[in-house]
Amino acid sequence: MLLCSSSALQRAWLEHELSCVYDRRKTPWLLAFMHAPWYNTNEKHQPGAELATARHKAALEGLLARAGVAAVFAGHVHAYERSTPVCFERVQPDGAAPTYVTVGDGGNRERLYDVWPYHRDAAWSAFRNGTRYGFGTLTVANATHARWEWL
């Protein structure tokens, strides 16, 4: 896939930033944040349908997994969904790929999205809910344990 110049610049920036994390004893947790989710089974937003999201995923997903990013948080979809560790659409063992969390259920004029037609084909989708407004908290206990809680 060809990358536009802005995607190439973003990839170069991300590669540089990830390369700065060379001592995982000092930086045990790597988290990424983005607007639109790469992994999502809600009908209201499919990554393949939005060209920019699909390009970013194709260009950057492998970088996040190789760097040891633990979790990727996104919004945009007005619902909650959490994945298993996943990379390139395949479930991975714990620690081998990020867990993707879509927590866009804080509310807006469009209301919640509760249409999940794609969930049967997504082995990586661990939990989804589009019926309640919510938010999440991440508590880091130490270098090996953290707790994500959706409220």
Tokens of 61: 């997903």
Tokens of 115: 């249409």
Compute the distance between CA of residue 77 and CA of residue 39 in angstroms, rounded to an integer: 11
Token pair 């999940």 in the structure block, residue:
116
Tokens of 103: 């927590």
Query: What is the amino acid identity at position 45?
Result: H
Catalytic residue among 45, 56, 78, 145: 45
Compute the distance between CA of residue 115 and CA of residue 118 in angstroms, rounded to an integer: 9
Query: What is the amino acid identity at position 147?
Result: R
Whether 145 is catalytic is no
- Confirm if 122 and 116 have CB atoms less than 8 A apart: no
User: Among all residues, which ones are annotated catalytic?
Assistant: 45
